[in-house]
């Protein structure tokens, strides 16, 4: 009898799981965003509940690379995008040179739309991990060539300068031949139709997020362009959180975090109104070794103030939080390798 009950429960679980198919994945990566950056935003918002507090589920990831305890954005980007750890500076290739498929490649094979949205240039390590295969993350011209011949449907960010170096005056013509509509402003991006593949080159290098809502707006546009009955995989990067960590600038990092959180809110709203959408938010590594300490040495005497103290101008090796929202949020749990998260997302989008 017990066996039958178990069998019935297993069947119910299996049926439930198939009813909860994941059609879309929105993967948001805060470059350099550790748990202290999230804590800083909770504190700066007076603990009123920021978007990270509203996660349906959470997990943790370890970030070390194949050749270093402290990863760079290329190795961690590759782990998150492809499910494999590699050496620092390597993009989409293993230490032995083997090319590995990314979440976007798998999604494309399943007939889904694919896209990336960033605040830095599109050839930067994190986005490039989703479409390029090259051992040097700094070869921006070659990475541009690989982006042009990639199968991405939507790419929004900066990086015009490297395309100019590659194609000179033939830039628009060449990209058109590769199947891309090119635009250089948000206004023009808004008039692109959902049938078109679009490469939005909004700055020579970094777009930046001084405009505040750029990343949220660009994410909304990407969702509009990518929405289709087969689903999509979209990667959105809050790229400059990292740079502000390198500069040990807490105020500037708060602005970058706010901009990133705006994009997370757009994704979570989308998931709430479009069942079948899984939203995954994490970092690629922590930058700056941020800690949040009392202003006063004796906490009993201290006022409510805190100090943001940094311990390095580089990256650190601490674990990172993973925030999950929407359909399938319960399927990612516990403490995992960054590569395990990447592999799981590839599995989930392929089902
Ligand atoms: Zn960095």
pLDDT at 209 over 90: no
Phi, psi of 347 (to 5 degrees): -60, -45
Residue ranges with CB less than 5 Å from ion ligand 1: 242
User: Region 252-273: what's the mean pLDDT?
Assistant: 97
pLDDT for the residue 300 = 67
Task: Identify the DSSP state of 51.
Answer: G
Residue 332 tokens read as 């990612």
> Average pLDDT for residues 180-199, to the nearest whole number?
96
Give residue 89 CA to ligand 1 midpoint distance, Å: 11
Do the domain assignments include residue 153? yes
Question: Residue 110 domain-assigned?
Answer: yes
Give the DSSP per-residue string, 177-202.
HTTEEEESSHHHHHTS-TTSEEEEE-
Q: Report the pLDDT averaged over residues 80-98.
A: 97
Residue 9: what pLDDT? 52
Residue 64 Cα to ligand 1 middle (Å): 14
0.85 exceeded by the pTM? yes
pLDDT bin (cut points 50, 70, 90) of residue 210 is: low
Least confidently predicted of 54-63, 121-130, 188-197, 295-304:
295-304
Q: What is the pLDDT of residues 241-253, one digit of tens each?
A: 999 999 999 999 9
Percent of the chain with pLDDT over 70: 91
For the record, the structure tokens of 270 come out as 């989308």
Over residues 126-146, the mean pLDDT reads: 97
Specify the pLDDT at position 294: 84
Residue 86 CA to ligand 1 centre (angstroms)? 17
Distance 88 CA to ligand 1 centre (A): 12
Distance CA 183, CA 69 (A): 40
Q: Is residue 18 included in any domain, yes or no?
A: no
Backbone angles phi, psi at 250, to 5 degrees: -65, -40
Q: What pLDDT score was predicted for residue 4?
A: 56
Mean pLDDT (the chain, rounded): 93
Residue 14 falls inside a structural domain: no
Could you tell me the distance, in angstroms and rounded to a whole number, from the CA of residue 15 to the centre of ligand 1? 44
* pLDDT tens-place string over residues 14-49: 444 444 899 999 999 999 999 999 999 999 999 999
* Count of domains observed in the chain: 1
Spacing, Cα 110 to ligand 1 middle (Å): 33
Residue 302: what pLDDT?
59
Percent with pLDDT over 90 in the chain: 88
Q: Which residues are annotated as catalytic? A: 73
Confidence of residue 10 (pLDDT cuts 50, 70, 90): low
Reported confidence tier of residue 211, pLDDT bands at 50, 70, 90:
low
Angle between helices 73-82 and 338-350 (to 10 degrees): 30
Q: How confident is the model at residue 301 (pLDDT cuts 50, 70, 90)?
A: low
Question: How many A from CA of 300 to the centre of ligand 1?
Answer: 36
Under a CB-based contact definition with an 8 Å cutoff, are residues 148 and 198 in contact? no
Distance from Cα 280 to the centre of ligand 1, integer Å: 21
Structure tokens at 69: 């305890």
At how many degrees (to 10) do helices 160-167 and 140-148 cross? 90
- Tell me, yes or no, whether 71 lies in a domain: yes
Show the domain range for 195. 23-350
CATH number of the domain residue 137 falls in:
3.40.720.10
Q: Is residue 11 part of a domain?
A: no
In 3D space, the residue among 157, 267, 276, 275 whose CA is nearest the CA of residue 223 turns out to be 267
* Residue in the block written with tokens 């078109």: 196
Cα–Cα distance for residue pair 262/195, rounded to 1 Å:
26
């Amino acid at each position: 009898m017990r066996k039958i009950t178990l069998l019935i429960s297993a069947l119910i679980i299996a049926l439930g799981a198939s009813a909860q198919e994941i059609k879309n994945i929105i993967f948001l990566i805060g470059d350099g965003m550790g748990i202290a950056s999230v804590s800083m935003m909770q504190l700066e918002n007076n603990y009123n509940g920021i978007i990270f507090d509203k996660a349906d589920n959470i997990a943790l990831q370890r970030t070390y690379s194949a050749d270093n305890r402290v990863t760079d954005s290329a190795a961690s980007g590759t782990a998150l995008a492809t499910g494999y750890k590699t050496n620092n500076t390597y993009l989409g290739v293993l230490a032995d040179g083997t090319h590995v498929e990314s979440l976007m490649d798998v999604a494309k094979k399943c007939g889904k739309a694919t896209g990336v949205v960033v605040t830095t240039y599109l050839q930067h390590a994190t986005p490039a991990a989703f479409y390029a295969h090259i051992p040097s993350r700094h070869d921006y011209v070659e990475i541009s060539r690989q982006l042009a011949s990639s199968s991405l449907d939507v790419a929004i960010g900066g990086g015009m300068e490297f395309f100019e170096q590659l194609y000179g005056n033939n830039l628009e013509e060449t990209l058109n031949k590769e199947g891309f509509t090119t635009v250089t402003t948000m206004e023009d991006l808004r008039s692109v139709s959902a049938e078109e593949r679009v490469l939005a080159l909004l700055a020579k290098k970094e777009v930046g997020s001084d405009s505040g809502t750029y990343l949220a707006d660009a994410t909304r546009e990407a969702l509009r362009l990518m929405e289709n009955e087969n689903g999509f995989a979209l990667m959105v990067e809050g790229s400059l959180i990292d740079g502000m960590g390198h500069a040990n600038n807490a105020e500037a990092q708060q602005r970058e975090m706010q901009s990133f959180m705006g994009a997370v809110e757009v994704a979570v709203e989308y998931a709430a109104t479009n069942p079948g959408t899984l939203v995954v938010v994490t970092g690629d590594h922590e930058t700056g070794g941020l800690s949040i300490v009392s202003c006063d040495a004796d906490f009993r005497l201290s006022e409510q103030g805190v100090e943001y103290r940094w311990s390095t101008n580089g990256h650190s090796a601490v674990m990172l939080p993973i925030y999950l929202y929407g359909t399938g949020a319960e399927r990612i749990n516990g403490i995992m390798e960054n590569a395990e998260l990447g592999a799981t997302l590839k599995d989930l989008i392929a089902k």
